[in-house]
Structure formats: C-alpha cells, structure tokens
Amino acid sequence: MSSDPLITRLKHLIVETLNLEDIPPDEIDETAPLIGSGLALDSIDALELVVKLEKEFGIKISSSEESKAALASVKALADFIRERSGGTLSSGV
Amino acid sequence: MLPERLYKPLRALGTLIAMTRMPAERRHSRDYLSLVLGRRPAWREVFRHFFAFEEMLMGRLRVADGRDYRTTYGPGTADFKAWLENGGRVLIGSFHVGASDLQGCQIGGYEHLAVRIVRQRVGNSHDTDKLAERFGGRLQFIWINEPREALHALKAAADSPAAIVMHCDRVEFSARTAAFEFLGARRLFPVTIYNLALIFHRPVILAVGMPSGPAAAVLHASPRFEPVEGEPRAAAMRRAHAHFQDFLRKLETLLRADPWQWFNFIPMNPAAEVEPAAGEKGGKPQ
C-alpha cells in the first residue's frame, strides 16, 4: 500500500468510478499506464474518470494532451492534481 | 436551373456511372438487400438503393441552400417533440437511414435549440460546412476522425446546454459495442451514447427520418432513456440495451417497408461472437 494518501484515494476512486470490482485498489501499480496497457482503460473510461476527477478535486482537464499526461499513471495523476490544486493536497488529503 | 423532370434523369445517369465505379459498395448493397428482402436483389434494385442515397444527398444540399423541408411526426414521438419545443440537454441517437440527416437541418431551424452533431468528416462534408455557417453557433459539428480529440470535444459539448446528436449504427469509431437482434442475427452496434448518458446524466432519444415524398419526411423516435442517479451500472446498461433493441425493431420494420433507405454502403454490422455482459466493455478499446 502507498504511503501517499492521495494515491490511495485515487486508487479507490478509479475502482469505484469505473466499476472495476475484480481489482483490489491496493493491487493497482501506481506507476503502470492507466490507458491501454496496465488497467487497460479505454477512451470512455478515460472520459468518465476525467469527469469524476474534475468534480472531486475541482480541477479542469481541458485537452487530450492534459488528460494523456494526467492519466499516464496513478502517480502522474496525483502529481497533476497537486499541481492543479495549488499544493493544497500536498500533505494529507 | 434545370427543371426536375430533366435534372432527375441526369442524376440517375450520374448515379449509374458512380455505381459502376464502386464495386465494394455494390457488393455491400447486395449483401444488405439480400438480408432485408430475403432474396438476391436484382441489379435494378441495387441501382434503386444507390439512387435513394443520391436523392438524400441532393435533399441535404437543397436544405443547406435554404429550401423548405416538411417533417411530420410518427406515433410515439412525444418525447422528441417535447425536446424540440422545450430544448434540453439530451443525447440524440441517429442512424445513416433515410432522411435522418435532414432532421439535423430541421432542428437547426429551431432558434431556441443549440445542437452539436458528431460526424465523421468525409469527402461529401461540404454541405455540413454550409449548414454550420447558416445556423451560426447554434449548430456545430464534432468530427470524430480523431477519437481522443473527439471525446474532449464531446465533454465540452456536454458541459454546454446543447443537445448532442450522434450516429449509432457504425462500429468503426465506437469505443463500446453490444449485440442486438437486427436483420436475422445478433449484430454489434455502438452503445457509446448510453455510456455518455450515464457519465453526463443526459437522457437519450433515438430518431430516424424516413422520406415521405418530395421534400418531406416522417420522423420516428424512441421514448427517452433516462439515467437514474445511483442505479448500478450493469442494471442501467441492461435498461439501455433494451431501449436500443426496441428502437432497432422499429427501424427494421421501417426498412422492410422501404429497404432502399439504409445508407451504410459498408459491411453489415458484424455478427456477435461472444457478447459481453451488460455494463462490461465491448468492442475494440480506443
């Protein structure tokens, strides 16, 4: 399990949002690609995740380049959210 | 300008020449007509299929140029008419059938409605440019040739009060598909519209227009499919699939009455081999 609470929260959020009932959140590799390989999410999953993340964290992901960067991995996603939320999520969540 | 009694034979000749140069499309036409007619089509029936398509394209150009077009409403279209009158953030599913594209032109005539139409950009898209220009910002096109960009354009459209119109019959650009009974087999159709409905909490209405004479069509539509807050995804997709299947039955009845109006000159939707359970992913991931 990651010691980063944001990464732990994101793993749970991904599983809940995308109904990945057969994947325990703790088993998601935080450095593995989310789209294509890794969790094998498709473009609709990516869209659903982006909509959920925007709502949950009050951020805006407004282009395909941004979503590609943000969804590169769970770790990349956590970094992206921290950057966009102005560091307010840097300690604890 | 030529009178129609002279222009129509010229268009028929042009269609004939085009048809002779399109062997793949002729083959797909024959395959489709064999299914819907229940027998091998005659050569003139394949021509009739091609000419019906030409008539639709001509109608689109004429409407884009501002010609009048009259739509009447078939039974069961109350939800569609309510949307036309009141607007709303709906998803409209359409098909490459009959005068369906012309319904988009009709919708553009309702000045209180904003519409985003999802389309694949092909060689004959210049009429869409004219339409977009004619209706200003109220009617815009989202081109799906680049799926990743298209999804962001869809998201932007979903954040707006505009209705989103998308085709639901070709699987080539669809992220999600499912199997449905259609023309004697279980065939794959795109169901992405329902995923979008659940993501953006928008209802879905399916609609097609069938020609009913010169410059006239009858609109046929489904009732609204409504996403329900908190409903488990699998249950929602089961409802969605039943909604789509009901409309496909209606569409098949319409096509059996007027077989020439199916404008997919591509291989028929593939038969399903293994169908994913409702709520699971189907088709090719993108």
Cβ–Cβ of B199/A63 closer than 8 Å?
no
- Distance (Å) from the alpha carbon of A55 to chain B's nearest alpha carbon: 12
Nearest Cα residue in chain A from B193: A44
Residue A11 burial (CB < 10 Å; 0-12/13-18/19+)?
Answer: buried
Q: What is the mean pLDDT of chain A?
A: 86
Cβ–Cβ of B175/A19 closer than 8 Å?
no
AA identity, residue B174? S
pLDDT-derived band of residue A92, with 50, 70 and 90 as boundaries? very low
B contacts of A65 (beta carbons < 8 Å): none
- Distance (Å) from the alpha carbon of A80 to chain B's nearest alpha carbon: 18
**Nearest alpha carbon to residue B176 among B163, B158, B194:** B194
Per-residue pLDDT at B148: 65
Residue of A42, A51, A53, A68 to mutate for B, most B C-beta atoms under 10 A:
A42
Judge whether residue B257 has pLDDT over 60: yes
- Window 73-92 of B: residues touching A by CB (8 A cutoff) are none
Judge whether residue A91 has pLDDT over 50: no
B contacts of A47 (beta carbons < 8 Å): 151, 154-155, 196, 199
pLDDT tens across B49-104, in order? Answer: 999 999 999 988 888 777 888 889 999 999 999 999 998 899 999 999 999 987 76
pLDDT tens across B130-162, in order? Answer: 767 777 778 888 887 766 677 788 888 888 889
DSSP E strands, B43-128: 70-73, 91-94, 115-119
Could you tell me the residue ranges of all domains in chain A? 5-84
Strands B177-182 and B185-190: antiparallel
In degrees, rounded to 5, the angle at the alpha carbon of residue A43 between the alpha carbons of residues A41 and A44 is: 90
Range from B73-82, B106-115, B158-167 carrying the lowest mean pLDDT = B106-115
pLDDT-derived band of residue B30, with 50, 70 and 90 as boundaries? very high
Strand partners, B141: B117
* Structure tokens, B143: 């081109």
More confident residue, B65 or B228: B228
Distances B144 to B76, B95, B176, B205 between C-alpha atoms, Å: 30, 15, 14, 20
The distance in angstroms from the start CA to the end CA of chain B is 47
Nearest Cα residue in chain A from B194: A44
Decide: helix, strand or coil at residue A57.
helix
* Structure tokens, B155: 């998201």
Distances B37 to B29, B32, B40, B45, B259 between C-alpha atoms, Å: 12, 8, 8, 10, 8
**CA–CA distance, B155 with A48 (Å, rounded to integer):** 10
Looking at chain B, the whole-number percentage of residues with pLDDT higher than 70 is 90
Range from B14-23, B137-146, B270-279 carrying the lowest mean pLDDT = B270-279
Place of tokens 């200003």: B136
- Helices (H), strands (E): how many in chain A? 4, 0
| Contact status of A39 with chain B (Cβ, < 8 Å) | no
AA identity, residue B37? L
* Cβ pairs A/B, distance under 8 A: 47
CB burial of B254-284 (b: ≥16 within 10 Å; e: otherwise) equals: bbeeebbbbbbbeebbeebeeeeebbebbbe
pLDDT-derived band of residue A57, with 50, 70 and 90 as boundaries? very high
**CA–CA distance, B159 with B199 (Å, rounded to integer):** 11
- Window 176-215 of B: residues touching A by CB (8 A cutoff) are 176, 192, 195-196, 199-200
Phi, psi (degrees; rounded to nearest 5) at B8: -60, -45
A contacts of B155 (beta carbons < 8 Å): 47, 50-51
Q: Which fold has domain A5-84?
A: 1.10.1200
pLDDT-derived band of residue B202, with 50, 70 and 90 as boundaries? very high
Tell me which DSSP letter residue A1 carries. -
**CA–CA distance, A87 with A77 (Å, rounded to integer):** 14
Relative orientation angle of helices B4-20 and B43-64, to the nearest 10 degrees: 120
Phi, psi (degrees; rounded to nearest 5) at B217: -150, 160
